[in-house]
Structure 1
Amino acid sequence: MAAADMRTYGGVSGADRRAERRAQLIEAGLDLLGGAEGDQLTVRRVCQRAGLTARYFYESFPGRDELVAAVYEHVVQTVAAAALSALEAAGPETDAKIRAGIEHLVRAVAGDPRHGRVLFSVTLTDPLLARRRLESSTFFARLLSGQAREVYGIADSPELDLVAQFVVGGLAQTLTAWLSGALTVSEEEIVAECVKLFTAIAGREGAG
């Protein structure tokens, strides 16, 4: 990297400017990957959307796939961090935690359609996204089993892993169907029904 790229201008360091450009590219990538038209992400288009030259793209990413991976990771981490905050703010009651978590997730994919499309849209068939979705399902299942251990004091076990994978997979498929229009229910209805299902499963696991 050229020394000039790392100099401080206007009180902003070179490292901070580079981080800002990377964030701009990720946001532009999210617009193009999660847009209503489907996957429109190319290096040329993302540079145009971000208002940056290709030089700055390759400063942060070796190629398109690495940007796709960064966009997906950004969405997962944004949703997960906010969901954990919602759970913590809900207080100690299990029912309140369940509702807070589900309401947040549904609101996250409905409130920012780009997030929902990147996480669940069946029209995005990029092999890299398929792998990332499998990895994120495991990630969210671990978060769920961690909450079960914390709330109920349940020890790690294959059964707990099975239930967590089942619940996360079922919710993901439900949201996929809802976002595609195959499931015609309101946001309030999907929250209410999912809360009932999660509460029933949580009660079973807690009793166990």
Structure 2
Amino acid sequence: MATTPLRVYGGVTGSDRQAERRALLLEAGLELLGSPDGDPSLTVRGVCRQAGLANRYFYESFTDRDELATAVYDHVVNEIAATALDAVTAVEDPRLKVRTGLATIVRLIAEDPRRGRLLFSPFLAGTPLTHRRTESTRLFTRLLGTQARQVYGVQGGARLELLSSFLVGGLAQTLTAWLDGDLTASEEEIVEWCAEIFLATSDFPD
């Protein structure tokens, strides 16, 4: 059955308006999920109120609140991963690559703490995002392992997997403590201290 094309109003196509509404819903979801206390009981009504949209517009982009939460999480993870990878790729010096990658990740979280809370907050444990967190950890572990092989010539295998998992998990715990105010340090200190740890592992035995 043919679908009716979305009409053009004020020079903006229906598909563009729909994309704008979806972006508003994603932003609203991030605002609610990434608040200091988190909101695992995210509701369609609450998201639409935050986005300034009628409830009916929610269902043109998402089937339910879990799909929205997953989309918000994936958007944040992909943004951080892509931005960090682009920054690292643009640098040639191996030691500077480490600092650049860490600085990019820390900066993205510092400029919008909602990202960090979405990734690390314990309030979201036991929600559909739990599985996504596991997948994102594996993603960053793979990215780190790839950089270790390409830049430092570290051989793949169980040791590299252990090292990558240890560093990614340690960084996540560090940033969680920093966001919660349990770790008193400047953004620059976080980057420098973590870089020292990451660089110290470049001589990890094969």
What is the TM-score normalised by the length of structure 1? 0.89
Find the counterpart in structure 1 of residue 67 from structure 2. Answer: 66
Find the counterpart in structure 1 of residue 42 from structure 2. Answer: 41
| Contact kept? 1:177, 1:183, Cα under 8 Å | yes
For 2:162, give the aligned amino acid.
L
Question: Offset of 1:37 from its aligned partner?
Answer: 4.1
Find the counterpart in structure 2 of residue 94 from structure 1. Answer: 94
Question: Offset of 1:79 from its aligned partner?
Answer: 0.9
Q: Which moved more, 1:5-14 or 1:175-184?
A: 5-14
1:29–1:5 distance in 2 versus 1, CA, 3 Å: farther
* 2:204 match: secondary structure: helix
Question: Offset of 1:55 from its aligned partner?
Answer: 1.2
1:9–1:3 distance in 2 versus 1, CA, 3 Å: farther
| Alpha-carbon distance between aligned partners in 2 of 1:129 and 1:59, rounded to the nearest angstrom | 22
Question: Offset of 1:9 from its aligned partner?
Answer: 3.1
1:95–1:38 distance in 2 versus 1, CA, 3 Å: same
| Alpha-carbon distance between aligned partners in 2 of 1:85 and 1:99, rounded to the nearest angstrom | 13
Residues 183-208 of structure 1 show CA distances to partners (whole Å, capped at 9, x for unaligned) of: 22222222111010000012326xx4
| Alpha-carbon distance between aligned partners in 2 of 1:47 and 1:133, rounded to the nearest angstrom | 25
| Contact kept? 1:109, 1:115, Cα under 8 Å | yes
Find the counterpart in structure 1 of residue 179 from structure 2. Answer: 179
| Alpha-carbon distance between aligned partners in 2 of 1:160 and 1:29, rounded to the nearest angstrom | 36
| Contact kept? 2:149, 2:155, Cα under 8 Å | yes
Residues 75-96 of structure 1 show CA distances to partners (whole Å, capped at 9, x for unaligned) of: 101111111121123x211110
Question: Gapped runs of 5+ residues in structure 2?
Answer: none
Q: State, as a whole percentage, how many aligned pairs show the same letter.
A: 56
| Alpha-carbon distance between aligned partners in 2 of 1:115 and 1:15, rounded to the nearest angstrom | 27
| Alpha-carbon distance between aligned partners in 1 of 2:82 and 2:113, rounded to the nearest angstrom | 18
| Alpha-carbon distance between aligned partners in 1 of 2:142 and 2:135, rounded to the nearest angstrom | 11
> What CA RMSD, in Å, does the superposition of the two structures yield over aligned residues?
2.1
What is the TM-score normalised by the length of structure 2? 0.90
Which portions of structure 1, spanning 4 or more consecutive aligned residues, are displaced by more than 4 angstroms? Answer: 1-5
1:4–1:54 distance in 2 versus 1, CA, 3 Å: farther
Find the counterpart in structure 2 of residue 32 from structure 1. Answer: 32
* 1:38 match: secondary structure: coil
1:47–1:87 distance in 2 versus 1, CA, 3 Å: same
| Alpha-carbon distance between aligned partners in 2 of 1:133 and 1:8, rounded to the nearest angstrom | 39
| Contact kept? 1:121, 1:180, Cα under 8 Å | no
Residues 127-165 of structure 1 show CA distances to partners (whole Å, capped at 9, x for unaligned) of: 212221111000100111111222134443222222111
How many pairs does the alignment contain? 205
| Alpha-carbon distance between aligned partners in 1 of 2:47 and 2:5, rounded to the nearest angstrom | 21
Question: Gapped runs of 5+ residues in structure 1?
Answer: none
Question: Offset of 1:99 from its aligned partner?
Answer: 0.4
Question: Offset of 1:72 from its aligned partner?
Answer: 0.5
